[in-house]
Structure 1
């Protein structure tokens, strides 16, 4: 079943291509970003497909989705890969996303650096740091998100940063990102994630912890995990994109099992 759901995600990406670019000129951006700018859409020959996603000039604020999570948490990975990323692919024009990798980690002040202890061990702390440094490097979560999705959907999150970065942004500097991960900048950024997580109101009780338009309720959390796509479409206050009116566009519901429950 997991493979079937992942196939749906990849199919959603391919739907943006429409087959138009096969044999055409090279595109300057990764596929998830082809519809973010008109010039890129023209270069990649996907204007008609992007038009189906774009509702036109915005007359309402975008729906805000914030995810507080851990890089190795199974429920976090499932939500990010099977709900958040495909929804963002189709509705990025009417939604904003914020990713905060930290979750249930704990920090203590060392002599010169913050020390972190993560729920799933030091490999998770490394994954959190990698994704935090990606977000900082690109200065735009829209660029970092495809790489993070690639990492989170792979068998080993922390071993696939170079491969995922090369897949989406081969021109990006792995050296600069690695410097952040190993250095003071990453330590400072992770401390900021810890502060942001501790300041949540109500305080987070488990992960993934999802905020919709800055609010967390058990009802919103459940709706987001069952069908984030429908939730975003329903909450948008202006004319939604055509995708929202397509009953087949929503990602398939995720039948959560006991081992997938948030914790």
Structure 2
């Protein structure tokens, strides 16, 4: 029975007991006492159960981004698609950021050493971003910092200004202690394992996984019109932002090949 039918059932049953019920129909299922007084207990159980199932079906769209900090295509995607879409639709989407990309790792005497596609600076900024995520934890707070770094003209020196603008309570020293210490090494190894376990394996970055799935169609849709894709895939009531236009399209060749 759909929600409309359940509401009709409530009204039909309740009409027999209106002389005992001093509450409007909109309140009949608000408390168990009111439901009993209006003699609609069973209908309320069914109605609320249906609403709970609907709520569970309306789960956020999950977007995982596997990227590297100095890849031009990754930066364009973060700046022009992912961050603006998240600003408008963060209540219906969950984002996971994994900075590592096409890097390689090797265990040297018990410590992981990394080689990155765009050189040591990229390994350095990848680790900065991983450490920021670890210390801040809440994406509502750390994503603006990551965006600030990725949009900066000098990515390698953006940490201080971006922290000052978006998370002044987190010190540069705290982040750099992580970057230069065992914690940063551990975080980057974890990102390496996440990236290396992708199925299918990534051929390039940015590599986008939506609701646990990656294929050429999803990738192309995400890269070219992420906002439209999220709006289409979300099963609940669409937010107002879904009635507007999407972000500036990006070309598929804006990637860094593995």
Could you say whether these structures have the same fold, taking a TM-score greater than 0.5 normalized by the shorter chain as the test? yes
Shift of 1:177: 1.2
Matches of 2:168 and 2:183, distance apart in 1: 23
Matches of 2:256 and 2:173, distance apart in 1: 35
Secondary structure at the residue paired with 1:171? coil
Matched, 1:251 2:243: no
Whether contact under 8 Å (2:71, 2:255) holds in the other structure is no
Structure 2 equivalent of residue 174 of structure 1: 172
Structure 1 equivalent of residue 127 of structure 2: 129
Structure 2 equivalent of residue 89 of structure 1: 87
Give the alignment partner of residue 162 of structure 2, picking from 161, 164, 179. Answer: 164
Matches of 1:65 and 1:168, distance apart in 2: 23
Structure 1 equivalent of residue 103 of structure 2: 105
Matches within 5 A, 1:1-263: 60-247=58-245, 250-254=246-250, 256=251, 258=253, 260-263=254-257
Structure with larger Rg? 2
Secondary structure at the residue paired with 1:120? coil
Deviation per CA, 1:1-55: give whole Å up to 9, x if none.
xxxxxxxxxxxxxxxxxxxxxxxxxxxxxxxxxxxxxxxxxxxxxxxxxxxxxxx
Matches of 1:134 and 1:171, distance apart in 2: 12
Matches of 1:261 and 1:118, distance apart in 2: 15
> CA RMSD, aligned part only?
1.5
Secondary structure at the residue paired with 2:201? coil
Tell me the TM-score normalized by structure 2: 0.76
The answer for unaligned runs of 5 or more in structure 2 is: 1-53
Secondary structure at the residue paired with 1:150? helix
The aligned length equals: 203
Deviation per CA, 1:176-207: give whole Å up to 9, x if none.
11110110000001000000001101111111
Matches of 2:252 and 2:227, distance apart in 1: 21
Shift of 1:262: 4.2
Secondary structure at the residue paired with 1:158? helix
Q: Which runs of 4+ in 1 moved over 4 A?
A: none
Deviation per CA, 1:94-135: give whole Å up to 9, x if none.
000000000110000011310000000000000100000011
Shift of 1:90: 0.2
Whether contact under 8 Å (2:63, 2:208) holds in the other structure is yes
The answer for unaligned runs of 5 or more in structure 1 is: 1-56
